[in-house]
Amino acid sequence: MTRWDFIKEGDIIDVVAPGYPVQLPEVDGARDFLLKWKLQPRIPKNIIKPHFLHAHEDEMRFAFLKAAIESKDSNVIWCLRGGYGSNRLLPMLAKLKKPKQPKLLIGISDITSLHTFFAQEWGWSTLHAPLLDRLGRGQVSAKHEKELHRILFGPDKGIEFKKLKPLNAQARNIKVLKSSIVGGNLSVLQTTLGTPWQIQAKNRFLFLEDAGERGYRIDKMLEHMRQTGVFKQCHGLILGDFIGGNEPGTNTNNFKKVFKRWSDDLDIPVFQGLEAGHDVIQRPVPLNTSCVLQQQNGKVLLSIDSGGRG
């Protein structure tokens, strides 16, 4: 893995919108949030342009992202919003030479496409963490905002998750396992299958989360992954938050049944309970860094290196 530099007060933060647009007040909110942290937000003046799907035309979204990647005076690329659109930029990214200076990419949801590309093509460590539109609207609790700040600025060299639950015998039999974590949004990861940037989970934990997908769709996406070999020699699945997706005319979903089916079917460990995804709590998950999963007396501890240095 390639380490990123801890943030310092006064650092420039390059802001990009590779997927859906936001409203102008949300751009202002993102700027205010970064200023509150005593950082220098660099937001292109025309970052948002009316478009029927995205924050801007593909070429302009890529141009803003390329400028952020190649800027020599910043170390962080923070995404405004997820939505849809990042995967359309991958063929253009593939034409770039690997940058000499690694950057820290921050975002969730649609940004999973970029996390996967940067990890697999350039060896970067990235951070699955709240988007700027959410932070700018004050939708992250003070407790979790502080946790994110400590990871980015460096007092904390890693993060611990203590609420994981093993869903099958393979998971319950683990005592200590050293690995790393890849993944993110399930439906976005499905779009990588069969492409040059297909998610690679061999000898790694695969983290998955999603929002608004019904049980049958989650099952279908997992089956697609199985048939393309994603789970072969994978160290295990770590399930984050799955929200929404209620069955028509009901207030319930089929997630529990779906995950039981897969924990029974797969010959790899399956854990549930990572506090990350689209729910109210969105704890940061370092991707493509070292991690250790330990289990004793039925309690699971997942410790993940932040990937930062300095």
Which parts of the chain have pLDDT scores under 50?
A: none
Distances (CA, A) of 289 to 54, 99, 303, 306: 31, 19, 11, 7
Tally of CB atoms within 10 A around 98: 11
**Is there a contact between 238 and 274 (Cβ–Cβ < 8 Å)?**
yes
Cα–Cα distance measured from residue 182 to residue 118, given in angstroms and rounded to the nearest whole number: 11
- For residue 1, the model assigns a pLDDT of 77
Tens digits of residue pLDDT in 231-259: 999 999 999 999 999 999 999 999 999 99
The H helix count followed by the E strand count for the chain is 10, 16
Burial 50-63 (b: 16+ CB within 10 A, else e): eeeebbbebebbbe
What is the DSSP track for the chain?
Answer: -B-EEPP-TT-EEEEE--SS---HHHHHHHHHHHHHTT-EEE--TTS----SSSSS-HHHHHHHHHHHHH-SSEEEEEES--SS-GGGGHHHHTTSPPPSS--EEEE-GGGHHHHHHHHHHH-B-EEE---HHHHHTT-S-HHHHHHHHHHHHSS-SEEEE---EE-SHHHHT-SEEEEEEEEEEHHHHHTTTTSTT----BTSEEEEEEES--HHHHHHHHHHHHHTTTTTTB-EEEEEEEE--PPTTSS--SHHHHHHHHHHH-SS-EEE--S-SSSS----EEESSEEEEEEETTEEEEEEE--EE-
Are 184 and 105 within 8 A, CB to CB? no
Catalytic machinery residues: 109, 209, 278
HSE on the CB side for 179, CA within 13 Å?
Answer: 23
How confident is the model at residue 8, as a pLDDT?
98
Residue 131 is predicted with a pLDDT of 98
Tell me if 26 sits within 8 A of 88, measured CB to CB. no
pTM over 0.95? The answer is yes
Which pLDDT score is estimated for 106? 98
Tokens of 121: 């093509």
Q: How far is CA 241 from CA 2, 70, 109, 262, 273, in A?
A: 28, 34, 12, 16, 7
pLDDT tens digit sequence for 32-86 = 999 999 999 999 999 999 999 999 999 999 999 999 999 999 999 999 999 999 9
User: What is d(CA 62, CA 67) in angstroms, rounded to the nearest whole number?
Assistant: 8
Domains within the chain, CATH numbers bracketed: 4-153 (3.40.50.10740), 158-309 (3.50.30.60)
